[in-house]
Structure 1
């Protein structure tokens, strides 16, 4: 008869074997990455960039599928309800942490129904206006808003997203009243901003940078505590008078809860390998995104802390959505 410790060890090894074999063989077929926003924005850029590199590494197609809508929550809900086999992944974002705090009813729980793999990048948000707008500074824009209470509008990537919350906190801290206009993503919101349908917008630097360089948008301030390396001459909102304003946007890779940990760890290791490449890092930094390769556990802690932080901010801004 085997000693009890040997029997326990054998049982543990037997239980671990299928997961280990799965991770070693995975992926054996194409992998889908769901981008919960329309093509063209930062979420899409990050998703397609990492998807291309993972496909090269895995020798399997990585299909990027856009599923926009409801403040990026439709795509997240789709992935949360997908089989937990590693073949359907999500480009998660800070927007999802915020949605968990502002929506009264979500068909999924962001903190428990999705498994973190890695934060991919952190990007600053920038306050932009059309180049035809006479405002040259945050003070100019605030003066416009105070002269026309309730008349100025700000676009966002959707109700309950980071850009919605940033806009409401801007209203609160600047003492102004501007109206929120939600879109299904960054691209349509920026089109209307340039066309004069909205007055201003908070969006990520990667989404806005080409339009800023092209002279179609004017940046007034970034919403993070530090200036953006891609826009070094643009002040922070804190420097512009809104002391302590600091909300960044992150993008990360996630899987349905219950995905085998060996698969999660494999994807994380491959992501970390890709983001350590100097050429890849330079490509992302040049477009305004700081590469990150946090561990699954670090990402889980970040999401937990964010939900607590944004819950307090949403309550202060009286932001609640059905």
Structure 2
């Protein structure tokens, strides 16, 4: 068993070697002259906020200035993102957003910014499955029972989302179209309020990250019904994948990205990326406990831009298929 663990550790270290070299070995060619503002377009306590605050000490250790989180909520994350898109591109104002960042063009006819070209990527930080969960009193213990309940009461069950165009909204639209069911969307300002709405019974269900819902699931105030990715999660090994639950098309993966204004110089981006990658590696175990997964290869502006372009295209396709048109 020990040899197997050592072999696994060695293999993991080898996989992330280039990734770690950039994070640990890159002596920053730029240092901020004042604290770095990290704009999080969601409420405090949500998974994006929690992740960003984890980065504060590592960023200060590497760059010499603290990372100060500012929660600027509203309009599905576009208010906070617009602030960063229009900020001075000097590295002192950055954005940390989730997959809502790629949804704006599908919902807003006149976007105040382009989510791809108006930003320079620092890194796609983590990937995470979402969990379809229901209030503990909802008479459904698996996905098929929940779908049967929704079909018997079309439009009567409330889905608590993290805002229009947010990851929960996207995942809910995928659920609605793949299963052919109806639900009432109730939009909250972040994962923590959405989870509390389900716990209280104000809403009957939601589709949140592990970091936003795991505490309630373990406490028994929410029931986990299904994951949104086709691999089981070690935190909730009993919760089935969409395919196992009988709805293979119900697939969606959340992610979180850090970005700066588009004209930010390359040395600044490199320094910020190295600091964030160092922070992710230092918090690797804690992130795993929150259901967040690190993947190499998403820590350059080019890689982030290509990734975001693909996500925007996917979001537009999903919402168009759901009949959602930009307004």
After TM superposition, the score normalised by the length of structure 2 is 0.87
Matches within 5 A, 1:217-296: 217-277=222-282, 280-292=283-295, 294-296=298-300
| Partner Cα distance (2:160, 2:50) in 1 | 20
For residues 60-116 of structure 1, what are the alpha-carbon distances to aligned partners after superposition, in whole Å with 9 as ceiling and x for unaligned? 121111001111111101111110000001102211102222322221110111111
Which of 94, 101, 106 is the matching residue for 1:101? 106
SS in 2 for 1:132: coil
- Aligned twin of 1:303: 308
Task: Give the paired residue count.
Answer: 298
Q: Does the aligned pair in 2 maintain the 1:70–1:184 contact within 8 Å?
A: no
SS in 1 for 2:101: helix
| Partner Cα distance (2:280, 2:71) in 1 | 23
Q: Does the aligned pair in 2 maintain the 1:120–1:253 contact within 8 Å?
A: yes
- Aligned twin of 2:72: 67
1:196 aligns with 2:201: yes
CA RMSD of aligned residues (A): 1.4
Which of 30, 41, 48 is the matching residue for 1:36? 41
Q: Does the aligned pair in 1 maintain the 2:161–2:206 contact within 8 Å?
A: yes
Deviation at 1:154, TM superposition (A): 0.4
SS in 1 for 2:55: helix
140-149 vs 101-110, which moves further: 101-110
Deviation at 1:58, TM superposition (A): 2.1
Deviation at 1:150, TM superposition (A): 1.4
For residues 118-149 of structure 1, what are the alpha-carbon distances to aligned partners after superposition, in whole Å with 9 as ceiling and x for unaligned? 01111111101111222100111111111111
Deviation at 1:321, TM superposition (A): 4.0
Deviation at 1:24, TM superposition (A): 2.8
150-159 vs 48-57, which moves further: 48-57
| Partner Cα distance (2:307, 2:286) in 1 | 25
Q: Which runs of 5+ in 2 are unaligned?
A: 1-27
Q: Does the aligned pair in 1 maintain the 2:58–2:275 contact within 8 Å?
A: no
Which of 115, 118, 136 is the matching residue for 1:113? 118
Deviation at 1:291, TM superposition (A): 2.3
| Partner Cα distance (1:142, 1:203) in 2 | 18
Q: Does the aligned pair in 2 maintain the 1:152–1:179 contact within 8 Å?
A: yes
Deviation at 1:238, TM superposition (A): 2.3
SS in 1 for 2:245: coil
32-41 vs 49-58, which moves further: 49-58
- Aligned twin of 2:138: 133
Whichever of the two has the greater Rg, that structure is 1
After TM superposition, the score normalised by the length of structure 1 is 0.89
235-244 vs 50-59, which moves further: 50-59
| Partner Cα distance (1:25, 1:307) in 2 | 31
For residues 156-211 of structure 1, what are the alpha-carbon distances to aligned partners after superposition, in whole Å with 9 as ceiling and x for unaligned? 00011121111111111111111111111112111111111111101111111111
- Aligned twin of 2:93: 88
